Homo-oligomer: A and B are copies of this chain.
Amino acid sequence: MQTDITGRLLICCPDRPGIVAGVSQFLYNCGANILDASQHSTDPREGLFFMRMVFQLEKADITREQLEKDFQEKVAGPLKMDWHIDYTDHRKQMAIMVSKYDHCLMELLLRWRSGELPVDIPLVISNHKELQQLTEDFGIPFHYLPVDAGNKAEREQEAIRLIKNVNADFIVLARYMQILSPAFVSVFPQKIINIHHSFLPAFAGANPYKNAYTRGVKLIGATAHYVTNDLDEGPIIDQDVARVSHKHAVSDLVMLGRDIERQVLTRAVVAHIEDRVIVHGNKTIVF
Protein backbone atom coordinates (compact mmCIF):
# COMPACT_ATOMS: atom_id res chain seq x y z
CA MET A 1 0.00 0.00 0.00
CA GLN A 2 0.99 3.51 -0.72
CA THR A 3 2.03 6.12 1.78
CA ASP A 4 -0.47 8.88 2.44
CA ILE A 5 -3.49 6.70 1.92
CA THR A 6 -5.40 6.69 5.14
CA GLY A 7 -8.31 4.69 6.40
CA ARG A 8 -11.07 6.29 8.40
CA LEU A 9 -12.84 4.00 10.78
CA LEU A 10 -16.19 5.11 12.12
CA ILE A 11 -17.66 3.21 15.04
CA CYS A 12 -20.85 3.22 17.06
CA CYS A 13 -21.31 0.73 19.90
CA PRO A 14 -22.53 0.35 23.48
CA ASP A 15 -20.21 2.26 25.79
CA ARG A 16 -17.95 0.13 27.98
CA PRO A 17 -14.31 0.14 29.05
CA GLY A 18 -11.73 -1.18 26.63
CA ILE A 19 -13.02 0.08 23.32
CA VAL A 20 -10.21 2.53 22.56
CA ALA A 21 -7.69 -0.02 23.78
CA GLY A 22 -9.22 -2.83 21.75
CA VAL A 23 -9.41 -0.91 18.51
CA SER A 24 -6.03 0.76 18.79
CA GLN A 25 -4.32 -2.47 19.78
CA PHE A 26 -5.92 -4.23 16.82
CA LEU A 27 -4.77 -1.55 14.40
CA TYR A 28 -1.29 -1.56 15.88
CA ASN A 29 -1.07 -5.31 15.45
CA CYS A 30 -2.03 -4.85 11.80
CA GLY A 31 0.83 -2.42 11.34
CA ALA A 32 -1.48 0.56 11.08
CA ASN A 33 -0.36 3.88 12.52
CA ILE A 34 -3.10 5.90 14.19
CA LEU A 35 -2.99 9.51 13.01
CA ASP A 36 -6.05 10.91 14.68
CA ALA A 37 -8.82 9.74 16.95
CA SER A 38 -11.96 11.35 18.30
CA GLN A 39 -14.50 9.92 20.71
CA HIS A 40 -17.90 10.80 21.98
CA SER A 41 -20.02 9.16 24.64
CA THR A 42 -23.68 9.94 24.93
CA ASP A 43 -25.16 10.36 28.36
CA PRO A 44 -25.06 7.25 30.58
CA ARG A 45 -28.76 6.41 30.21
CA GLU A 46 -28.30 5.98 26.48
CA GLY A 47 -24.79 4.65 26.89
CA LEU A 48 -23.49 4.83 23.34
CA PHE A 49 -19.92 5.33 22.23
CA PHE A 50 -18.84 6.84 18.94
CA MET A 51 -15.34 6.95 17.55
CA ARG A 52 -13.50 8.04 14.45
CA MET A 53 -9.99 6.75 13.94
CA VAL A 54 -7.72 7.76 11.10
CA PHE A 55 -4.88 5.38 10.38
CA GLN A 56 -2.12 4.75 7.90
CA LEU A 57 -1.51 1.30 6.51
CA GLU A 58 1.85 1.96 4.92
CA LYS A 59 3.75 -0.84 6.61
CA ALA A 60 0.95 -3.36 6.85
CA ASP A 61 1.33 -6.56 4.89
CA ILE A 62 -2.27 -7.41 5.55
CA THR A 63 -4.86 -6.69 2.84
CA ARG A 64 -7.77 -4.40 3.53
CA GLU A 65 -10.16 -7.29 3.11
CA GLN A 66 -8.29 -9.32 5.70
CA LEU A 67 -8.04 -6.37 8.04
CA GLU A 68 -11.77 -5.77 7.86
CA LYS A 69 -12.58 -9.46 8.25
CA ASP A 70 -10.31 -9.75 11.27
CA PHE A 71 -11.66 -6.53 12.75
CA GLN A 72 -15.20 -7.83 12.57
CA GLU A 73 -14.25 -11.13 14.20
CA LYS A 74 -11.90 -9.96 16.88
CA VAL A 75 -13.16 -6.50 17.81
CA ALA A 76 -16.38 -5.34 16.25
CA GLY A 77 -18.34 -8.53 16.78
CA PRO A 78 -17.55 -8.96 20.48
CA LEU A 79 -18.14 -5.24 21.16
CA LYS A 80 -21.38 -5.13 19.11
CA MET A 81 -20.14 -2.37 16.83
CA ASP A 82 -21.69 -0.71 13.85
CA TRP A 83 -18.66 0.28 11.91
CA HIS A 84 -17.36 1.34 8.53
CA ILE A 85 -13.97 2.05 7.01
CA ASP A 86 -13.44 4.45 4.18
CA TYR A 87 -10.09 4.81 2.42
CA THR A 88 -8.83 8.06 0.95
CA ASP A 89 -7.86 6.38 -2.30
CA HIS A 90 -11.54 5.84 -2.89
CA ARG A 91 -12.38 9.23 -4.30
CA LYS A 92 -15.98 9.91 -3.35
CA GLN A 93 -18.46 10.50 -6.17
CA MET A 94 -20.54 13.59 -5.45
CA ALA A 95 -23.77 14.13 -7.39
CA ILE A 96 -25.25 17.62 -7.36
CA MET A 97 -28.88 18.63 -7.81
CA VAL A 98 -29.64 22.28 -8.41
CA SER A 99 -32.37 24.55 -9.74
CA LYS A 100 -31.68 28.11 -10.89
CA TYR A 101 -29.52 29.78 -8.23
CA ASP A 102 -25.88 29.41 -9.13
CA HIS A 103 -24.04 30.52 -6.00
CA CYS A 104 -23.90 27.19 -4.18
CA LEU A 105 -23.15 25.22 -7.33
CA MET A 106 -20.42 27.66 -8.32
CA GLU A 107 -18.87 27.49 -4.87
CA LEU A 108 -18.69 23.71 -5.02
CA LEU A 109 -17.34 23.65 -8.56
CA LEU A 110 -14.65 26.22 -7.82
CA ARG A 111 -13.48 24.48 -4.69
CA TRP A 112 -13.56 21.19 -6.56
CA ARG A 113 -11.44 22.61 -9.38
CA SER A 114 -8.96 24.13 -6.94
CA GLY A 115 -8.51 20.72 -5.30
CA GLU A 116 -10.13 21.68 -2.02
CA LEU A 117 -12.88 19.08 -2.45
CA PRO A 118 -11.20 15.72 -3.09
CA VAL A 119 -14.15 14.21 -4.96
CA ASP A 120 -15.28 13.49 -8.49
CA ILE A 121 -18.45 15.19 -9.66
CA PRO A 122 -19.90 12.72 -12.13
CA LEU A 123 -23.06 14.69 -12.85
CA VAL A 124 -25.25 17.66 -12.12
CA ILE A 125 -29.02 17.21 -12.32
CA SER A 126 -31.34 20.18 -12.64
CA ASN A 127 -35.01 20.84 -13.18
CA HIS A 128 -34.00 23.96 -15.11
CA LYS A 129 -31.63 24.67 -17.97
CA GLU A 130 -30.12 27.88 -16.61
CA LEU A 131 -27.02 26.29 -15.14
CA GLN A 132 -26.24 23.88 -17.98
CA GLN A 133 -23.59 26.04 -19.61
CA LEU A 134 -21.87 26.82 -16.35
CA THR A 135 -21.75 23.15 -15.40
CA GLU A 136 -20.48 22.02 -18.76
CA ASP A 137 -17.79 24.72 -18.72
CA PHE A 138 -16.34 22.77 -15.83
CA GLY A 139 -16.45 19.60 -17.93
CA ILE A 140 -19.22 18.03 -15.91
CA PRO A 141 -22.22 16.22 -17.48
CA PHE A 142 -25.49 18.08 -16.97
CA HIS A 143 -28.86 16.35 -16.96
CA TYR A 144 -32.00 18.38 -17.46
CA LEU A 145 -34.96 16.77 -15.71
CA PRO A 146 -37.80 19.29 -15.68
CA VAL A 147 -40.42 18.57 -13.07
CA ASP A 148 -44.08 19.41 -13.34
CA ALA A 149 -47.19 18.42 -11.44
CA GLY A 150 -47.61 15.24 -13.44
CA ASN A 151 -44.13 13.82 -13.84
CA LYS A 152 -42.43 14.18 -10.48
CA ALA A 153 -42.32 10.50 -9.53
CA GLU A 154 -41.05 9.57 -12.95
CA ARG A 155 -38.37 12.25 -12.93
CA GLU A 156 -37.20 11.13 -9.54
CA GLN A 157 -36.86 7.58 -10.81
CA GLU A 158 -34.84 8.91 -13.70
CA ALA A 159 -32.64 10.83 -11.30
CA ILE A 160 -32.15 7.73 -9.16
CA ARG A 161 -31.07 5.76 -12.24
CA LEU A 162 -28.60 8.45 -13.26
CA ILE A 163 -27.18 8.76 -9.77
CA LYS A 164 -26.86 5.00 -9.35
CA ASN A 165 -25.26 4.67 -12.76
CA VAL A 166 -22.38 6.85 -11.71
CA ASN A 167 -22.10 5.15 -8.33
CA ALA A 168 -22.54 8.41 -6.51
CA ASP A 169 -21.60 8.20 -2.83
CA PHE A 170 -23.67 11.18 -1.85
CA ILE A 171 -25.89 13.89 -3.25
CA VAL A 172 -25.69 17.61 -2.60
CA LEU A 173 -28.82 19.71 -3.05
CA ALA A 174 -27.18 23.01 -3.94
CA ARG A 175 -30.42 24.99 -3.71
CA TYR A 176 -32.60 22.39 -5.42
CA MET A 177 -36.09 23.82 -5.11
CA GLN A 178 -38.12 20.63 -5.31
CA ILE A 179 -39.17 18.60 -2.30
CA LEU A 180 -37.89 15.07 -2.72
CA SER A 181 -40.39 12.29 -2.14
CA PRO A 182 -39.95 9.61 0.53
CA ALA A 183 -39.40 7.17 -2.33
CA PHE A 184 -36.33 9.12 -3.40
CA VAL A 185 -35.02 9.83 0.07
CA SER A 186 -35.25 6.20 1.12
CA VAL A 187 -32.81 5.21 -1.59
CA PHE A 188 -30.08 7.48 -0.20
CA PRO A 189 -30.40 7.48 3.57
CA GLN A 190 -27.97 9.94 5.21
CA LYS A 191 -26.50 10.54 1.80
CA ILE A 192 -28.37 13.68 0.74
CA ILE A 193 -27.08 17.03 2.01
CA ASN A 194 -29.37 20.01 1.70
CA ILE A 195 -28.70 23.68 2.33
CA HIS A 196 -31.66 25.48 3.84
CA HIS A 197 -31.60 29.25 3.72
CA SER A 198 -32.44 29.91 7.34
CA PHE A 199 -31.16 29.23 10.80
CA LEU A 200 -33.31 26.15 11.43
CA PRO A 201 -35.58 25.48 13.21
CA ALA A 202 -36.45 29.15 12.69
CA PHE A 203 -38.12 29.82 9.37
CA ALA A 204 -38.51 26.29 8.11
CA GLY A 205 -40.49 25.96 4.91
CA ALA A 206 -40.68 28.35 2.01
CA ASN A 207 -39.57 32.00 1.92
CA PRO A 208 -37.31 32.06 4.94
CA TYR A 209 -35.73 35.40 4.06
CA LYS A 210 -39.11 37.04 3.68
CA ASN A 211 -40.20 35.57 6.98
CA ALA A 212 -36.96 36.67 8.66
CA TYR A 213 -37.56 40.17 7.34
CA THR A 214 -41.14 40.19 8.59
CA ARG A 215 -40.13 38.99 12.04
CA GLY A 216 -37.39 41.58 12.24
CA VAL A 217 -34.58 39.27 13.34
CA LYS A 218 -31.11 40.76 13.73
CA LEU A 219 -29.27 37.68 12.41
CA ILE A 220 -30.03 35.56 9.37
CA GLY A 221 -28.61 32.13 8.84
CA ALA A 222 -28.26 29.00 6.81
CA THR A 223 -28.38 25.34 7.77
CA ALA A 224 -26.85 22.31 6.09
CA HIS A 225 -28.59 19.07 7.02
CA TYR A 226 -29.18 15.55 5.84
CA VAL A 227 -32.49 15.12 4.09
CA THR A 228 -35.14 13.00 5.75
CA ASN A 229 -38.82 12.69 5.06
CA ASP A 230 -39.57 15.44 7.55
CA LEU A 231 -39.01 18.60 5.58
CA ASP A 232 -36.29 20.81 7.10
CA GLU A 233 -36.17 18.50 10.10
CA GLY A 234 -33.21 16.30 9.19
CA PRO A 235 -30.00 16.02 11.22
CA ILE A 236 -28.13 19.35 11.16
CA ILE A 237 -24.51 19.23 10.03
CA ASP A 238 -23.57 22.88 10.20
CA GLN A 239 -25.11 26.33 10.61
CA ASP A 240 -23.99 29.90 10.57
CA VAL A 241 -25.42 33.39 10.74
CA ALA A 242 -24.72 36.95 9.63
CA ARG A 243 -25.78 40.19 11.24
CA VAL A 244 -28.52 42.22 9.59
CA SER A 245 -30.43 45.35 10.53
CA HIS A 246 -33.51 47.38 9.72
CA LYS A 247 -31.64 48.75 6.71
CA HIS A 248 -31.78 45.45 4.89
CA ALA A 249 -34.67 44.79 2.52
CA VAL A 250 -35.65 41.21 1.71
CA SER A 251 -33.45 41.40 -1.39
CA ASP A 252 -30.47 42.35 0.79
CA LEU A 253 -31.13 39.39 3.04
CA VAL A 254 -31.18 37.15 -0.01
CA MET A 255 -27.82 38.53 -1.14
CA LEU A 256 -26.22 38.35 2.29
CA GLY A 257 -27.70 34.92 2.77
CA ARG A 258 -26.02 33.63 -0.36
CA ASP A 259 -22.64 34.07 1.29
CA ILE A 260 -23.67 32.18 4.40
CA GLU A 261 -25.31 29.44 2.37
CA ARG A 262 -22.22 28.72 0.36
CA GLN A 263 -19.94 28.78 3.37
CA VAL A 264 -22.14 26.51 5.45
CA LEU A 265 -22.77 24.11 2.59
CA THR A 266 -19.05 23.94 1.86
CA ARG A 267 -18.20 23.13 5.47
CA ALA A 268 -20.86 20.43 5.63
CA VAL A 269 -19.74 18.87 2.35
CA VAL A 270 -16.11 18.87 3.47
CA ALA A 271 -17.06 17.22 6.77
CA HIS A 272 -19.03 14.57 4.89
CA ILE A 273 -16.20 13.94 2.43
CA GLU A 274 -13.74 13.50 5.29
CA ASP A 275 -16.04 11.03 7.05
CA ARG A 276 -16.30 13.29 10.06
CA VAL A 277 -20.08 13.11 10.38
CA ILE A 278 -21.98 10.36 12.18
CA VAL A 279 -25.75 10.54 12.23
CA HIS A 280 -27.30 9.46 15.50
CA GLY A 281 -31.06 9.67 15.63
CA ASN A 282 -31.96 13.11 14.39
CA LYS A 283 -28.66 14.65 15.39
CA THR A 284 -25.12 14.56 14.11
CA ILE A 285 -21.78 14.02 15.71
CA VAL A 286 -19.28 16.06 13.69
CA PHE A 287 -15.74 15.09 14.69
Contacts and interface: CB of A to CB of B under 8 A. Distances in A.
Contacts of A235: 216
Copies assembled: 4
Contact of A34 (B20, B27, B215, B218): B20
Contact of A199 (B27, B36, B59, B202): B202
Interface string A1-36: 000000000000000111111101101110111111
Chain A: interface secondary structure? mixed
A239 B245 CA distance: 11
A255 B31 CA distance: 32
A79 interface: no
A36 B39 contact: yes
B28 A255 contact: no
A143 to B, nearest CB: 23
For chain A, the bracket of interface size reads 35 or more
A101 B118 CA distance: 19
A188 B237 CA distance: 42
A159 interface: no
Interface in A15-64: 16-22, 24-25, 27-29, 31-41, 43, 59
